Amino acid sequence: MKIGVFVCHCGENIGKTVDCATVAQRAAKIPGVAYSVDNKYMCSDPGQNVIKNAIREKKLDAVVVASCSPHMHEKTFRKAAADAGINKYLCEIANVREQCSWVHDNIPDATDKALDLVRIAVEKVKRNIPLTAIRVPVTKRALVIGGGISGIQAALDIANSGFEVVLVEKEPSIGGHMSQLSETFPTLDCSQCILTPRMVEVYQHPKIKLLTYSEVEKVEGFIGNFTVTIKKKARSIDEEKCTGCGLCIQKCPIKKKAFNEFEEGLATRPAIYVPFPQAVPNIPVIDRSVCTYYQTGKCQMCLKVCGREAILFEQQDTLVTEEVGSIVIATGYKLYSIDKKPEDSEIKGYGEYGYGKYKDVIDGLQFERIASASGPTNGEILRPSDKTQPKKIVFIQCVGSRDEQKGFSYCSKICCMYTAKHAMLYKHKVHDGEAYVFYMDIRAGGKMYEEFVRRAIEEDGVKYIRGRVSKIYRQNGKYIVKGEDTIAGMPVVIDADMVVLATAMVAQPNASKLAQTIGVPYDKYGFYQEVHPKLRPVEVSTAGVFLAGACQSPKDIPESVAMASAAAAKSLVLFGSDYLEREPTVAVVNEANCAGCFYCLKVCPYNAIEKKEVKNKLGEIIDYIAHVNAGLCQGCGTCNATCPSKSIELIGFNDEQIYAEINAFSESFV
């Protein structure tokens, strides 16, 4: 076998710590190396040509490139090798940058180490065999989880490109948090006015299958070939028969009992309800936890008044399966609650703000409902406790956010803007009112954002005070807000009528459960983890799964929509081919040797190991052995290392290759 070694200087990145010329000279003496050379920029066009020409002229069988991390340029060099006619898996990378020049400063030692790394790679490549990529077919159909603005956008983009979409929403209606908002910054568009046409478009789209009041239970398969099990929760309504006339809702006798989620608890709703008048679909749902019939066996008023016999008290949850090629997760966020948290939670509530006991100390979404024309006060600014108009209102930013002590170190990003909007809306509606905003920094990075905040301050006269509030308590009917103006360097105490807390955006409470179902990494806060923060912001490490909106980190509407379109585009890229090529470096089971202990199944992080039936001649199952689903396997090697009988081999990284590397390394000690 004739091997070529190509040592890259990476400008000065490698060259200034590793003597590349020496490495090339000494590499030439490694048995099997037929050609060896160094170059300033091996990844450049001329550099690649050095490799290609050498392969052709010197009739090389395999190459080792000593350069940066394989993460960076393995693809580049393998392609160059393939262009020159050798199998791309006969090209190995020796990482002499991240693992050598960048972490050392002694030139002779670093040079020795670089040579060691080259020798290791040479010994490995000697044992490499030509491999061909695995081809898998693609189901050109997408699943979108979450029907907020992100999910709606992603679903519409994919569907409008001509591919089918299954849109799953856990609530009875799509629309998400955006449907709760009054007006949106920085243009003060009416949120409902811009959102509801999109919701209707989703509903009427021939390519979108909408499953509301449904949750994803199970995801199997791999990129291009997912099988998803979805639980349709029992609505207690026959969706085919219901016309959405609303008579059942009007006649439900327990009008004022149930907590109204859409109004954030500022209003009540009947047991049978649609979350809000513009709900999509306009089909009610029965909340069995409060419905008199489910609780006592009596009533059935809704059934009596329904002319279509659409009430189905006996309806059960059902499971449906869908085949899809890509998954867009757009599950959104939740607001942090200042209520006292359970003892075992690392997240603490705000005792200094009353642990949620004061009725007129509300959060941002509650204020949205109060300011909304369709909200519980019809848009009049009235405080919840006594429905009077607050003449002095305090807004507090960074409640929970940027508060390490409460468990969240991150900035929620949108609060500066929506607080400015809240204060502005308040001033527009209560002309003689005073509005104060306590802030730490104003983060208004965005088109027309800073201008918007300045307008609140300069034109609407909102008083901005730089400092965090230490305590809120009720005395003589007022909410005493104790703060400090850190610019003036003096204490500020405001006797307010109402306080609005810009509480942190946090991950959905079941975010980690869904992540585990699909196989998506998440950070310590429960936000889903993208592959690369800059260059691959909507992809996750599980191929074929994409992220949109606030499930990845706090985001405003424009960003969520942009990200949703990006996730849609990523799905469309996938749907652009009939087949997918996957790395052949996957695990295979030596079936004759497998004892069926299934330790591999337990340790596999990608659920790629299956139990395969072994049948006798009569077709009876006599045993089970392990089988690797090559579509799911990511080639991590955990099974290989775990297998007690050494019955799993990782192609491209088999034991012989690994031992050869170790032996080559140990030579440097001789």
Partner 1 sequence: MSTHHSANTTLSNEIFSNTSLNVLQCYQCGKCSAGCPVRNFMIDAPNQVVRYVQLGFDDKALTSSTIWICASCQTCSTRCPQNFDIAKFMDAMRETALNKGIKPSEKDSMEFHKAFLNQIENHGRAYELGLVRDYKLKTLNLMQDVEVAPEMLMKGKLNILPHNVKDKKPVKKIFAKSKGGRK
Partner 2 sequence: MIVGYYPGCSLTGTGKEYDMSLRKVLSLLDVQVEEINDWCCCGATSAHATNHLLSVALPARNLMLAQKQNLNELLAPCAACYNRLIGSKHEISHNADLKKKVEFVLEEDFNSSTEVINIVQLLQKVGKEKIKSLVKVSLKDIKVACYYGCLLVRPNAVTKFDDAENPTSMEDIISATGALTVEWNYKTECCGGAHSIARKDIVTFLSKNILDDAKLNGAHVIVVACPMCHSNLDMRQRAIKKLYPSHEEIPVLYLSELIGIALGLNGKELGINLHFVDAINLLQMVKAEM
Q: What's the longest Cα–Cα distance across the chain?
A: 92
Task: Catalog residues that contact partner 1 under the rule CB under 8 A.
Answer: 352, 398, 402-406, 440, 466-471, 482-486, 489-492
Q: x/- string (CB under 8 A) for partner 2, residues 351-390? A: xx--x-----------------------------------
Among 2, 209, 340, 429, binds partner 2 (CB under 8 A): 340
Q: Looking at beta carbons only, is 108 or 491 nearer to partner 1? A: 491
CB of 355 to partner 2, least distance (A): 6
Q: Looking at beta carbons only, is 468 or 474 nearer to partner 1? A: 468
What's the Cα-to-Cα distance from 360 to each of 205, 388, 472, rounded to whole Å?
A: 42, 11, 11
Distance CA 233, CA 109 (A): 65
Is residue 659 a contact residue for partner 2 (CB under 8 A)?
no
- Residue carrying structure tokens 């159909």: 141
Q: Looking at beta carbons only, is 399 or 660 nearer to partner 1? A: 399
Burial class (CB in 10 A: 0-12, 13-18, 19+), 296: exposed
Q: Looking at beta carbons only, is 141 or 406 nearer to partner 1? A: 406
Q: Looking at beta carbons only, is 475 or 616 nearer to partner 2? A: 475
Among 473, 486, 488, 524, binds partner 2 (CB under 8 A): 473
Closest CA to 432 of 385, 381, 501: 381
CB of 498 to partner 2, least distance (A): 18
Residue 175, contacted partner among partner 1, partner 2, none, CB below 5-8 A by kind = none
CB of 351 to partner 2, least distance (A): 2
The footprint of partner 2 on this chain (CB under 8 A) covers a number of residues equal to 10
CB of 485 to partner 1, least distance (A): 8
Q: Looking at beta carbons only, is 2 or 340 nearer to partner 2? A: 340
Instruction: Characterize 479-518 residue by residue with b for buried, 16 or more Cβ atoms within 10 angstroms of its Cβ, and e for exposed.
Output: bebebbeeeeeeebebebbbbbbbbbbbbbeebeebbebb
Contact 80, 110 (CB under 8 A): no
Burial class (CB in 10 A: 0-12, 13-18, 19+), 316: exposed
In this chain, which stretch among 31-39, 368-376, 468-476, 655-663 interacts with partner 2, using CB under 8 A? 468-476
CB of 342 to partner 1, least distance (A): 20
Cβ neighbours for 216, distance < 8 A, ≥ 6 positions apart: 143, 145, 168, 228, 229, 230, 231, 514, 517, 518
Among 475, 489, 490, 670, binds partner 2 (CB under 8 A): 475
Judged by phi (left if over 0) then psi (alpha if -120 to 50, else beta), residue 417 lies in: alpha
Burial class (CB in 10 A: 0-12, 13-18, 19+), 329: buried
Is residue 476 a contact residue for partner 2 (CB under 8 A)?
yes
Closest CA to 487 of 466, 507, 501, 502: 466
Residue 474, contacted partner among partner 1, partner 2, none, CB below 5-8 A by kind = partner 2
Contact 647, 595 (CB under 8 A): yes
Burial class (CB in 10 A: 0-12, 13-18, 19+), 69: middle
In this chain, which stretch among 176-184, 203-211, 349-357, 393-401 interacts with partner 2, using CB under 8 A? 349-357
Residue ranges in 1-40 that form contacts with partner 2 under rule CB under 8 A: none
Residue ranges in 165-204 that form contacts with partner 2 under rule CB under 8 A: none
CA end-to-end span of the chain, whole Å? 25
Residue 588, contacted partner among partner 2, partner 1, none, CB below 5-8 A by kind = none
Q: Looking at beta carbons only, is 201 or 485 nearer to partner 1? A: 485
Distance CA 466, CA 404 (A): 19
Residue 473, contacted partner among partner 1, partner 2, none, CB below 5-8 A by kind = partner 2
Q: Looking at beta carbons only, is 209 or 348 nearer to partner 2? A: 348
CB of 349 to partner 2, least distance (A): 9
DSSP symbols for 537-572: TTB-SSTTEEE-GGGTS---HHHHHHHHHHHHHHHH
Q: How far is CA 436 from the centre of its chain?
A: 35
Cβ neighbours for 573, distance < 8 A, ≥ 6 positions apart: none
Q: Which residues pair with 3 in a beta bridge?
A: 33, 62
Q: Looking at beta carbons only, is 293 or 395 nearer to partner 1? A: 395
Distance CA 5, CA 24 (A): 7
Residue 476, contacted partner among partner 1, partner 2, none, CB below 5-8 A by kind = partner 2
Q: Looking at beta carbons only, is 340 or 455 nearer to partner 2? A: 340
Q: Looking at beta carbons only, is 365 or 398 nearer to partner 1? A: 398
CB of 482 to partner 1, least distance (A): 5
CB of 395 to partner 2, least distance (A): 21
Q: Footprint of partner 2 on this chain (CB under 8 A)?
A: 340, 350-352, 355, 473-476, 480
